Amino acid sequence: MMLHWLILLVMVELSQSVTFPDKEKNPQYWRDQAMQTLRRALALQELNTKTATNLIIFLGDGMGISTVTAARILKGQMAGQLGEETQLEMDKFPYVALSKTYNTDTQVPDSAGTATAFLCGVKTNMGTLGVSAATVPGHCNTTRGNELDSILKWAKEAGKSVGVVTTTHVTHATPAAAYAHSADRNWYSDRDMPPEAITQGCKDIARQLVENIPDMEVILGGGRKYMYPWDTPDVEYPDDPMSNGTRQDGQNLTSIWEEKKPPGKISQYVWNRDQLIDLDPENVDYLMGLFEPGHLLYEQQRTNSTDPSLSEMVHVAIQILNKNPQGFFLLVEGGRIDHGHHAGKASLALHETVEFDRAIGLAGDLTSENDTLTVVTADHSHVFTHGGHPPRGNSIFGRTVPSGGKN
């Protein structure tokens, strides 16, 4: 017991010795910051009336406000700073808003219903993709006539190039709502579907990926096993039966994807980071990259030779899409922020968020505000918070040591 109290006293002593920059002791430092903020706000009265030819939607899955706050601190601490004063790339955006994220049938939404809402403009039932609320979840025979077009399809019809980049598998809820219509978000391959759904004519999500919008220019993420025939060994994990192909129809969808490309166009399929980094975007018209059998590895766990970062995928995607003078639409999902929170692992979730923010900054460097509209949002939040009165600079993953403050 005595040792416990000694440790606590030492920690409290350390917390009270935390220093912050002397400039923050000067009231003028804070007033200057306030004035700069006001000047930037006033400058926004000079509205940008140009027409955006490019649209990028960055979707941080499960990235609520508390996640953004903690990721901001982590980003600063990763750079050797205290952290609280750090600015995320998304913090630099001139306009901020909040949204209501319920599904038509649930108070707390899922990523399928919310993706349908922000990509198709229509709220729908939990667990359904690219269909209106008239579709009964899990019932294939209620799908026909209730399909919704997404902004990705609208962009393609307008002559723009389109792409999806995600850290989940490409048939997961958020990316799937851009191209698929499904009464069940989990119908990734035909093996995941009940026999009656197949008999009634519904298609699995992976098949819809290659058939619904066959001329999608960029598809990057995970999900190899949903593209290959049943029990086909995975190229990266041939000895892992859980990574084998899952399709029961015998189709190799990566080959079908390549076959559907227009004559004279160059398509490229890659499955590891080295292949992605080495390709020449100027000589690629269509790119599919599937870097894991399922979801991509977490940013903290990925292997550099085989698994690209979200930033690296975004870099290549924009280089390919930007060749179209008519412009492009790109959906970028930081999907594993959500998974880290579901697992109760703050470190995984927050490092995913920092990488997501890095990709936002990179996209800004590769595009111009004169012709590109970039939107950063989340589809829902998570039960994640940090509280108490930790001292300035306290590790975002550390204990909240009392600093003497009171509520």
Comparing C-alpha atoms, which of 303, 361, 313, 355 is closest to residue 63? 355
* Helices 65-78 & 346-366 angle (0-180, nearest 10): 80
Comparing C-alpha atoms, which of 190, 169, 207, 172 is closest to residue 247? 190
Whether the Cβ atoms of residue 62 and residue 378 lie closer than 8 Å to each other: yes
For the record, the structure tokens of 360 come out as 């936002």
Is there a catalytic annotation at residue 381? Answer: no
Quote the distance between the C-alpha of residue 72 and its chain's center: 17
Q: Is residue 296 within a helix (H) or strand (E), and if so which, with residue range?
A: none
Whether the Cβ atoms of residue 371 and residue 322 lie closer than 8 Å to each other: no
Rounded Cα distance between 378 and 49, Å, is: 26
From the candidates 111, 161, 182, 189, which is the catalytic residue? 111
Rounded Cα distance between 183 and 197, Å, is: 9
> Helix (H, G, I), strand (E, B), or coil: what is residue 122?
coil
For the record, the structure tokens of 137 come out as 């979840």
Whether the Cβ atoms of residue 219 and residue 182 lie closer than 8 Å to each other: no
For the record, the structure tokens of 245 come out as 């192909």
Instruction: Please identify every residue annotated as catalytic.
Output: 111
